[in-house]
Amino acid sequence: QITLKESGPTLVKPTQTLTLTCTFSGFSLSTSGVGVGWIRQPPGKALEWLALIYWDDDKRYSPSLKSRLTITKDTSKNQVVLTMTNMDPVDTATYYCAHSTPVTPCFDYWGQGTLVTVSS
Amino acid sequence: QSALTQPASVSGSPGQSITISCTGTSSDVGGYNYVSWYQQHPGKAPKLMIYEVSNRPSGVPDRFSGSKSGNTASLTISGLQAEDEADYYCSSYTSSSTLYVFGTGTKVTVL
């Protein structure tokens, strides 16, 4: 059974750096083809893909946010960490991590999401 | 990379069929058979309903079906039920550096 759970601060100040951790179980990020991605959703708005890290440490980022994002993995801890620098109120959103299947590019398991508010 | 275009809302009565469109470009929807659809109930995480245009994961009712023609993909819900009322998002793999692009989302209302 695959599960994922996001953790991190619920409130950050403008210009601060956000660090979110995705802790997962039921799969290994050392298995060929597997990936973990981050997707966010501002209140009342659509989903936006942010970043993805694969089993071989290949990393992909949304071009519009690439300069602010870093994704890393700790295979031994079953965790993936996303950092986003220079936070702004427009970054207020629910942040989800999700499992990317090794068979086809899509997200088949999602965490419950964590709401991050950016405010002074 | 712009978001895929979906109608803001679609509605239908119980038992009816509805179709949600998802329009992209030849660099995403039209270029790959890697369109997926997600259902999202209020306050909940998205749930994968369709992958690779028309394949259903285990446990998804067969009244959910997907198709694609050119740069437009579609999700059809047949025999609409009250629990189908939710937001639906399409997504596509893309050849651009974006890798993934989501749709603008469609709110499905069961009348």
- Per-residue pLDDT of chain A (120 residues), as tens digits, is 999 999 999 999 999 999 999 999 999 999 999 999 999 999 999 999 999 999 999 999 999 999 999 999 999 999 999 999 999 999 999 999 999 988 888 999 999 999 999 999
| CA–CA dist A35, B59 (Å, integer) | 22
Give the pLDDT score at A76: 94
| CA–CA dist A2, A28 (Å, integer) | 10
Averaged pLDDT score across all residues of chain B: 95
Contacts of A96 in chain B (CB under 8 A): 45-46
Q: In the structure encoding, which two tokens stand for residue A94, read together?
A: 């629910």
The confidence band for B16, taking pLDDT boundaries of 50, 70 and 90, is very high
CB of B103 within 8 Å of any CB in chain A?
Answer: yes
Contacts of A38 in chain B (CB under 8 A): none
| CA–CA dist B104, B86 (Å, integer) | 14
The confidence band for B53, taking pLDDT boundaries of 50, 70 and 90, is very high
Inter-chain CB proximity A63 and B45 less than 8 Å: no
Region of residue A86 (left: phi > 0; alpha: psi -120 to 50; beta: else): left
Q: In the structure encoding, which two tokens stand for residue A103, read together?
A: 């068979």
Instruction: Identify the residue whose tokens are 């690439």.
Output: A66
Task: Give the CA distances from residue B87 to residues A12, A43, A49, B111, in Å, rounded to whole numbers and listed in that order.
Answer: 28, 13, 17, 15
B34, B89, B96 ranked by CB distance to A105: nearest: B34
Inter-chain CB proximity A60 and B99 less than 8 Å: yes
Q: DSSP secondary structure string, B58-72?
A: TTS-TTEEEEEETTE
Chain A interface disruption, residue of B2, B99, B102, most A CBs within 10 A? B99
